[in-house]
Structure 1
Amino acid sequence: MAEAIFSRLISKTGIDPQNIIVSDINSERMAYLKNKHGIRIASSNEEAVSEPGAIVLAVKPQNMKDLLTEISAKVGKRLVISIAAGIKTKKIEERLTQARVVRVMPNTAAIVGQAITAISRGSRASDEDVEATREIFSSVGEVMDVDEKLQNSVTAVSGSGPAYFFYLVELLAEAGKSTGLDDEQSLKLATQTAIGAGELLRTGREAKELREMVTSKGGTTEAAIKAFQENKLSDIVRTAVQQASTRAKEISEG
C-alpha cells in the first residue's frame, strides 16, 4: 500500500522523489523501491522520521505499538497519517503526545489509482491537516470524510471490499466451468465482465438501475437473480460485512 501511495503521489503531483523517505525491515525491498522510484531510504524508522514533513504510518496493526515506541522521540507536533486498520487516533495520540493525527482507510485499488479513502481527524488535527491528507490520497483515487466511529464499517465495506469482488470473480469462473467452459474461457469471461460492470458503475448510474436494465422478465438473468435471492445471498453478504466490522473493532480494542 505504501508503494502505491508514494508512487502515485510522484506521478500525479510531480513531487521530488528525494523528498520521500521510506523505511522497511526488508533491505532488499528498500533497495528495489529506491532503484525503481528514486526515493530515499532510511536504515531505521527513527531515521525515516528525523526530517521535517508529514509522516505516513503504513504498518500492520500488530506492529503499530513497537513502531510508535521507536519514533516517539522524533515526531513532535508533526502531521501523522495512519492507514492501519482498527487503530484509533486516540491510541496513537497517547504515544505521540504532540502529534496531529489523521486516520485513513484506503483500499488495494490505490495501486491503479481507483481507491476510495475514508479520512477521520484526531483530536489535535487541524482543517489544514485534513486538507493535506486529502491531497495525498486524492492521488490514488476518491476521498471522503467520515466520523472515526464509522471507520470499522468503512474497513468492512471498502477496505476489505476489493477481496469480495475478486472472490465473486473466482466463484463465477468456477460456476462457468460447471456449465462446460474450460478454465481459460471461464476466467476471462468472469474477469472482463467484472471490469465492464465496474466501468458501467462509473457512468453515475446506480447499481440497482444497472441490474434492472440487464434483467429481462422471464430471462436468464432473472433466473440467476432469483437463485441468489432464494439462497439468501443478501444475508450472506450482510453477515460477512458485519463480521469484518466486528474484527476491526476487536483490533481497535486489543
Structure 2
Amino acid sequence: MQKFFKYDEIALNKAGQLAPAQIKDIHQATNPTIWLAGGGILIAIVVCFGGLFSMMGADLGGMMGIAQLVVGGSLLFALWRGGRLFLLRMNLQKGPIQSAEGEITFQPESMTDPARYIATTNDGKKLHTIGLAGVGVFLPEGRYRFFYLNAQNWFLSAEPLSSEAEIKQNLTNRLLETLGLDQDALLRARQMAQSGQATVHEGPVTFRTSEERDYSYPDPNSPLAVNHTYHCKVGNFEFQLSSNAIAAILPELPYRLYTAPDLLVMEPA
C-alpha cells in the first residue's frame, strides 16, 4: 500500500512547496499553446484561400466579410481561453498550498456520474485530480490529510491517517461489494486454494474496453445506449468485470484472484 503515497511530495507540500511532478502536471494541464496555435492556423488558412481566390479573380467581397467575422471570433476565443489558462497556471503556482483532513470514499456509478473514488475534506470540499471537476483520485478509501490548491480544488497529495491494515481492508471490502460478494466468499476461496480446489493468480489488472450499441434502447444514438464490456487479465487468466468493479481497482496494485475455473473472488495481494 505504501507505493500509493508519495511521501517525498507530501513532505514538500507540508513545507508549502510544489513537487517537480506536480509543477509538470500544472504546466501540462494549463498549456495555452494549443489555443493560440489553433487561432494562428485558422488565420493562415483564411489568408491562403483568400490569396488563392484573389489570384483566380474571384469576387470575395461578401465571403471575406464572413471570413473576417469567423476568424475574428475564433481568434478572440483562442486568446480568451489561452489567457484564462495562463492566469490559472499563475494562480496555481503561487499557491498557497492548503491542507485539511478528510476522507476518501467510493461513489458507485449512477445515471449521471461514473464510479470513482472521491476526496472530500471535513468541511465538504471535493478535491479533483489535476483540477478537473468530476475526476476522482486514485487512492483507496480511508482517512487522510489532504494537500491541495484552492484554484479548482486542485488535489496535490494525501497523507494517510488510517492504518495500512485499515486501508487494505477498506479496499478489499469495496472490491467484494462491487463483485456482489462478501467476506465469507473470500474465506471459502482461500480455503479452496489451500486444498488445491482453486487456482491462484497474482499480478496487476490490465483491461481493454469494447462497446456494443443497444438498439432496443428508446434512443439508440444516445450515449446511454452504448454497453461497455471490460475485458480484464491477470497473468494468463482472462475475465470480465462491471464498470463499478473496474473503478474500484487501483492501477499498478497487484491483485490475487481465485479461480475454479471461473473467477470466484479477488482481493488486493
TM-score (norm 1): 0.19
| Structure having the larger proportion of residues in strand | 2
| Structure having the larger proportion of residues in helix | 1
